[in-house]
């Protein structure tokens, strides 16, 4: 059975029940982004990028085959809707957000690779259908060929930006299934930055240490917010398309990022913006990240699914204790330039047999991103990517 996940523009009328499920998912997405970001900062001290949505999709698919306490741990840690019915309603309602259109590209694809002759249960096949997940049999014992097949699939769905997601050394006769989500986003700014205004300027990695980086400039009307409580400024840079925005949160102090990151729960909810003319300076940057999510998820309370006889993935196959998740990892990439943004992520889980009108003219506000900052991309209030820039020259 094979199908491809494509999601169409948002706007389909919702029933009150599906609207409630979607709002629960969106609220949970903001909470999970906060907790995920916090944990990543304990392991990564420089630039990083993560896709909370990609993690949520692949783990939501996994928990649909989990039972009892194993499933509950995943739902709680990821702040997912508290029942399988609500989860499936949220996913089905969310899907129309993720489809290529003439304004921007946002595509998500799921794939489940299953060991030859390994039978998964019909109930999990039905859940895979809800997630529009392809299923394909493969021989993990032929580890080099299996890794090549899976990596080719990921490359093709991430515009060749994510390569070698799966290491052949991690595959073998003990591998029973690999679940993958690939998320790809590309959009142009609603008003592009003029390339002739891009100049080499100082970026302060710390209070005193600096590097020279290509910095984009413009002066235009944007959603802008200053928070005295956080000691930071917010700005939204819109893309072409409805409710698709790139948000930058810049601490007032050059070395203020670490303090700002202690208040992340106040970063991701949308602030009370005003429409202001802003002189903006933003460095161009590219980030490639590889994040091992197993330890992070364990810290957030997901434990049983990784533990031998405690793991109950009997909704996928076999009985409690037969399958265990032993690896979950995400690779991601982002390129921010004068035209817009290209970003992509691939997350995989490996299961093994037990033995992843414009304002009056006034002087413009200033938003000069010449020191470390936080950023995120939202579509219809869902955080699809978040991260930080500490050194744009890397």
In a domain, 163, yes or no: yes
Phi, psi of 318 (to 5 degrees): 65, -150
In a domain, 11, yes or no: no
Mean pLDDT on 318-346: 93
Mean pLDDT on 140-145: 94
The number of distinct structural domains making up the chain is 2
DSSP string, 222-240: EEEEEETTTTEEEEEEEBS
Q: What is the pLDDT of residue 340?
A: 96
In a domain, 109, yes or no: yes
Asked whether residue 348 falls in the same domain as residue 373, the answer is no
What does the angle CA 330 – CA 334 – CA 337 come to, to the nearest 5 degrees? 180
In a domain, 394, yes or no: no
In a domain, 10, yes or no: no
Mean pLDDT on 141-159: 95
Asked whether residue 270 falls in the same domain as residue 180, the answer is no
Structure tokens at 20: 């409630």
Q: Report the Cα–Cα distance between both ends of the chain, in Å, rounded.
A: 43
Asked whether residue 41 falls in the same domain as residue 171, the answer is yes
Question: Which of 66-80, 135-149, 164-178, 350-364 shows the lowest per-residue confidence on average (mean pLDDT)?
Answer: 350-364
Asked whether residue 270 falls in the same domain as residue 138, the answer is no
Q: What is the pLDDT of residue 66?
A: 92
Asked whether residue 135 falls in the same domain as residue 166, the answer is yes
With bands split at pLDDT 50, 70 and 90, how would you rate the model's confidence at 13? very low
In a domain, 213, yes or no: yes
Asked whether residue 162 falls in the same domain as residue 301, the answer is yes
Can you give the residue range of the structural domain that contains 297?
16-188+287-353
d(C-alpha 162, C-alpha 156), whole Å: 9
With bands split at pLDDT 50, 70 and 90, how would you rate the model's confidence at 11? very low
Asked whether residue 35 falls in the same domain as residue 161, the answer is yes
DSSP string, 242-302: TTEEEEEEEESSTT-HHHHGGGGGGTSS----EEEEEEEEEE-EEEEEEEEHHHHHHHTT-
Cβ pair 222, 278 in contact under 8 A:
yes
Asked whether residue 331 falls in the same domain as residue 381, the answer is no
Q: What is the pLDDT of residue 142?
A: 94
Mean pLDDT on 149-160: 94
Asked whether residue 205 falls in the same domain as residue 106, the answer is no
Asked whether residue 173 falls in the same domain as residue 222, the answer is no
Q: What is the pLDDT of residue 161?
A: 94
Asked whether residue 111 falls in the same domain as residue 218, the answer is no
Answer whether residue 9 shows pLDDT above 70. no
Q: Would the pTM count as exceeding 0.85? A: yes
Mean pLDDT on 147-155: 95
What is the DSSP pairing of strand 365-368 with strand 274-283? parallel
Q: Name the average pLDDT for the chain.
A: 89
What's the CATH number where 246 sits?
2.30.39.10
In a domain, 2, yes or no: no
In a domain, 70, yes or no: yes
Asked whether residue 385 falls in the same domain as residue 237, the answer is yes
What's the CATH number where 86 sits?
3.30.497.10
Q: What is the pLDDT of residue 84?
A: 85
């Amino acid at each position: 059975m094979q199908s491809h996940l494509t999601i169409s523009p948002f706007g389909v009328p919702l029933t009150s029940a599906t609207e409630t499920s979607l709002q629960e998912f969106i609220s949970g997405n903001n909470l999970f982004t906060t907790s995920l970001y916090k944990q990543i900062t304990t392991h990564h001290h420089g630039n990083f990028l993560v896709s909370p949505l990609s993690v949520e999709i692949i783990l939501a698919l996994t928990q649909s085959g989990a039972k009892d306490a194993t499933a509950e741990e995943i739902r709680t840690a990821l702040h997912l809707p508290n029942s399988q019915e609500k989860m499936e309603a949220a996913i089905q309602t969310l899907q129309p957000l993720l489809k290529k259109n003439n304004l921007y590209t946002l595509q998500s694809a799921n794939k489940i690779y299953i060991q030859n002759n390994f039978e998964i249960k019909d109930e999990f096949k039905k859940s895979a259908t809800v997630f529009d997940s392809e299923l394909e049999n493969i021989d993990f014992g032929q580890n080099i060929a299996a890794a090549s097949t899976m990596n080719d699939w990921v490359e093709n769905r991430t515009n060749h930006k994510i390569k070698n997601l799966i290491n052949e050394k991690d595959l073998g006769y003990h591998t029973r299934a690999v679940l993958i989500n690939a998320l790809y986003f590309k959009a142009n700014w609603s008003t592009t930055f003029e390339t002739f205004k891009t100049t080499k300027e100082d970026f302060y990695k710390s209070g005193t240490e600096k590097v020279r980086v290509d910095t984009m400039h413009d002066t235009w009307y944007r959603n802008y917010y200053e928070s005295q409580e956080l000691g930071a400024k917010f700005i939204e840079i819109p893309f072409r398309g409805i409710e698709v925005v790139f948000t930058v949160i810049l601490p007032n102090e050059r070395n203020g990022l670490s303090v700002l990151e202690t208040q992340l729960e106040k970063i991701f909810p949308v602030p009370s913006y005003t429409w202001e003319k802003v002189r903006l300076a933003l460095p161009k940057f590219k980030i490639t990240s590889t994040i091992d999510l197993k330890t992070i998820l364990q810290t957030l309370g997901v434990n049983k699914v990784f533990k031998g006889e405690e793991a109950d993935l009997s909704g996928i196959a076999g009985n409690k204790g037969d399958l265990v998740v032993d690896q979950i990892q995400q690779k991601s990439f982002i390129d921010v330039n004068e035209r817009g943004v290209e970003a992509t992520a691939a997350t995989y889980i490996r299961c093994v047999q037990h033995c992843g009108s414009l304002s009056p003219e006034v002087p413009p506000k200033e938003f000069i991103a010449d020191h470390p900052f936080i950023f995120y991309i939202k579509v219809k209030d869902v955080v699809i990517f978040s991260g930080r820039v500490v050194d744009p020259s890397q």
